[in-house]
C-alpha cells in the first residue's frame, strides 16, 4: 500500500472513531437531559463493550435513590456488570458528559475498564485530567486511556444552565415580597415546621 493510501485509510479510521464517539456521546447527553428533568445534576453516561455494543446507559440518580454514590458512571457500571454477569468490564469504554470524579475513576479502575471518554472538563473535581490523573497513576494496578471526546460545550452548557436556574430559583424565593409574605403566612399556620 502506498503512503497516500495508508494515510487516507488512517483518516477514514479516525473519522469512523469520531463518528462513533459522537453517537455514544449523544446518547450520554440524552441521559443527562433526562437527569436534569428529574431535578438531578444533568450528567449522563453510556457504557459500551469491546464490540461497540451498549451495555448500559443512565443519568445521575443521587436524589431519587438517596444514594451519594448514584452517579451516572456508577449506575452504568452496576448495570453493565449485571448484564454481562461479570464484575470485570475488560475492554469496555465509558462515555460520560462530564469528567468523572474521584469515586467514579476509582470504580472504573476496579472494573478494569479500557477507556473513558468525557465531554466537559470539571476543573474543580475532575479526577481524570483536572485535579487528579487516576487513569495514569502508576501506583495503581490498572491504567486506562482517558480522552476528551465531542460535545464538551453542549454538555458544559447543560450543567451551567441547570445551576443557573437553581440559583435564580433560590434568589427568587428569598427576594420576592410575595414569597416572603407566603412564608410568613406559612409560619403563622398552626402546623408550621419546627
Active site residues: 73
Nearer to Zn ion, 71 or 78 (CB): 71
Q: 66 — alpha (psi -120 to 50), left (phi > 0) or beta?
A: left
Residue nearest to Zn ion (CB): 104
Query: Residue 89 or residue 101: which is nearer to Zn ion going by CB?
Result: 101
Shortest reach from residue 35's CB to Zn ion, in Å:
13
The reply on whether position 78 binds Zn ion by CB under 5 A is: no
Can residue 151 be called a binding residue for Zn ion (CB under 5 A)?
no
C-beta of 162: minimal distance to Zn ion in Å? 16
DSSP reduced 3-state for 56: strand
* The one segment of 23-31, 65-73, 109-117, 179-187 that binds Zn ion by CB under 5 A: 65-73
User: What span, in angstroms and rounded, lies between the C-alpha atoms of 69 and 106?
Assistant: 12
Least separation in angstroms between residue 80's CB and Zn ion is 15
CA distance 113 to 109: 6
Q: Does residue 136 sit in helix, strand or coil? A: helix
If binding is defined by CB under 5 A, does position 32 make contact with Zn ion?
A: no
Backbone angles phi, psi at 151, to 5 degrees: 70, 25
Which residues ranging from 98 to 127 are in contact with Zn ion (CB under 5 A)? 101, 104
> Where in 49-92 does DSSP place strands (E)?
54-59
Amino acid at each position: 500500500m502506498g503512503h497516500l493510501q495508508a494515510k487516507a485509510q488512517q483518516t477514514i479510521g479516525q473519522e469512523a472513531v469520531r463518528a462513533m464517539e459522537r453517537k455514544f456521546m449523544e446518547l450520554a447527553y440524552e441521559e443527562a437531559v433526562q437527569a436534569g428533568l428529574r431535578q438531578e445534576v444533568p450528567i449522563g453516561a453510556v457504557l459500551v463493550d469491546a464490540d461497540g455494543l451498549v451495555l448500559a446507559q443512565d443519568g445521575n440518580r443521587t436524589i431519587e435513590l438517596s444514594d451519594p454514590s448514584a452517579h451516572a458512571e456508577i449506575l452504568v457500571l452496576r448495570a453493565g456488570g449485571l448484564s454481562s454477569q461479570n464484575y470485570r468490564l475488560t475492554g469496555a469504554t465509558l462515555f460520560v458528559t462530564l469528567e468523572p470524579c474521584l469515586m467514579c475513576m476509582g470504580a472504573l479502575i476496579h472494573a478494569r475498564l479500557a477507556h473513558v471518554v468525557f465531554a466537559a472538563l470539571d476543573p474543580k473535581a475532575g479526577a481524570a485530567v483536572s485535579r487528579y490523573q487516576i487513569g495514569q497513576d502508576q501506583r495503581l494496578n490498572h491504567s486506562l486511556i482517558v480522552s476528551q471526546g465531542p460535545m464538551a460545550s453542549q454538555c458544559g452548557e447543560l450543567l451551567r444552565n441547570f445551576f443557573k436556574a437553581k440559583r435564580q430559583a433560590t434568589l427568587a424565593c428569598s427576594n420576592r415580597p410575595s414569597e416572603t409574605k407566603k412564608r410568613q403566612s406559612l409560619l403563622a399556620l398552626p402546623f408550621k415546621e419546627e
